[in-house]
Amino acid sequence: MTPRRPVDTGDPDRLYTVTGGRSRADDAFDLVTLVVRESEPSAGMQSEHVRILEMCRHPTAVVEIAAELRLPITVVRILLGDLLAMGRITARHPRAAESVASLPDSALLKEVLHGLRNL
Amino acid sequence: MGSVTSELPAGRTPLADAAETGLKIVIVGGFGVGKTTLVRSVSEIRPLNTEEVMTQAGVGVDETSGVAGKTTTTVAFDFGRISLNERMVLYLFGAPGQERFWFLWDRLFSGTLGAVVLVDTRRMDDSWYAIDRLEHHGTPFVVAVNRFDDDSAGHSLDEIRQALALPPHVPLIECDARVRRSGKDVLITLVDHLYDLAMARETTP
Ligand SMILES: Nc1nc2c(ncn2[C@@H]2O[C@H](COP(=O)(O)OP(=O)(O)OP(=O)(O)O)[C@@H](O)[C@H]2O)c(=O)[nH]1
Ligand SMILES: [Mg+2]
């Protein structure tokens, strides 16, 4: 496990507003974890939470959420941690990302090759 | 497709609802070597840009030892995406190969299937550090030479392999990052290589 690191966006006001001053991100969210919403946004929710739920009607990768919201990855991880705790989203984590050492098996790679050849 | 797309913010193309496995490949190389061009040529979406902000204190970059206080670095990277089938989606990340960005590697790109080192023969020096780090890290990779039109020297692949001190087992190919077919061949070369490595591992008792 990589240790949790503080966020520093270089823009403290915006970070404070978006994250409520928290600075610890949920490292369980990989760049390519696919996020799907479990319910629609409701009144009174924070605008970033609303936007994430709108995007995640269909599975959406963490990195695409960050690009769309124009927020650093770490800030998005914090927001996703909130939504997960509220039961608003589910996360489909990548198989291979548990550790750097876990290399992909041949069956998975065969599927990848097949997909690339069919492009 | 049309009705679904119209409900989304402009330009976004959703993944299939059955999508469950995200995979990563990193394209690494020096400034202007063609990383974004390669991502664009094979991606099903326009390349998107995002950033991570790192506080360098405590990240374990030994070169910075002795520096008091924290330095904050913002690293931007772009990415594209290829839906391989209903369940699997491959993300391609274009990452700067310069030494000062490599503290990001473990953090952002752990769990990548492998890497493509993109090389410009006019500036081969830019590639050494990336190759060295990938070997050290144990991330399997291939090297792709992006041939620019004014590459007058026209080094052969053998000469390039020698210049980069590449071991014989590392695939080395030429490409034109602007051409989809060529970009696709680079990815297939990498995954073929990964497949061979996996088979060798799995059949060794
Ligand atoms: N002639 C030629 N030009 C290319 C090729 N690949 C990229 N270019 C051009 O080279 C320039 C740089 O390409 P990019 O894809 O932006 O390079 P990059 O590695 O993403 O650059 P940075 O992100 O700035 O480090 C662009 O003007 C491309 O059009 C190629 O294969 N042949
Ligand atoms: Mg670029």
Residue A2 has pLDDT above 70, yes or no: no
Q: How close is the nearest chain A Cα to the Cα of B166, in Å?
A: 22
Specify the residue for token string 């931007």: B76
Q: Are B85 and A9 inside 8 Å of each other by CB?
A: no
Report, as an integer, the average pLDDT of B31-44.
Answer: 95
A72 touches chain B (CB under 8 A): yes
Of B17, B91, B199, the CB nearest to A61: B91
Closest ligand, as measured to the CA of B97: 1
Using 50, 70 and 90 to split pLDDT, how confident is the model at B9? Answer: low
Whether domain B21-203 has CATH 3.40.50.300: the reply is yes
- ipTM computed for the complex: 0.85
Any bridge partners for residue A90, and if so which? A36
Q: How close is the nearest chain A Cα to the Cα of B10, in Å?
A: 11
B82 touches chain A (CB under 8 A): yes
pTM over 0.80: yes
∠ CA B104-A99-B102, rounded to 5°: 15
B78 CA from centroid of ligand 2 (Å): 7
B141 touches chain A (CB under 8 A): no
N- to C-terminal Cα separation, chain A: 36
Using 50, 70 and 90 to split pLDDT, how confident is the model at B52? Answer: confident
Residues of A in contact with B194 (CB under 8 A): 104, 109
Q: What is the pLDDT of residues B56-90, one digit of tens each?
A: 544 443 343 444 455 677 788 899 999 999 999 99
**Average pLDDT over chain B, rounded to whole?**
84
Question: Which residue has the CA at smallest separation from atom 1 of ligand 1?
Answer: B148
Using 50, 70 and 90 to split pLDDT, how confident is the model at A102? Answer: low
Can you list the alpha helix ranges (DSSP code H) found in B79-204?
105-109, 125-137, 157-164, 180-203
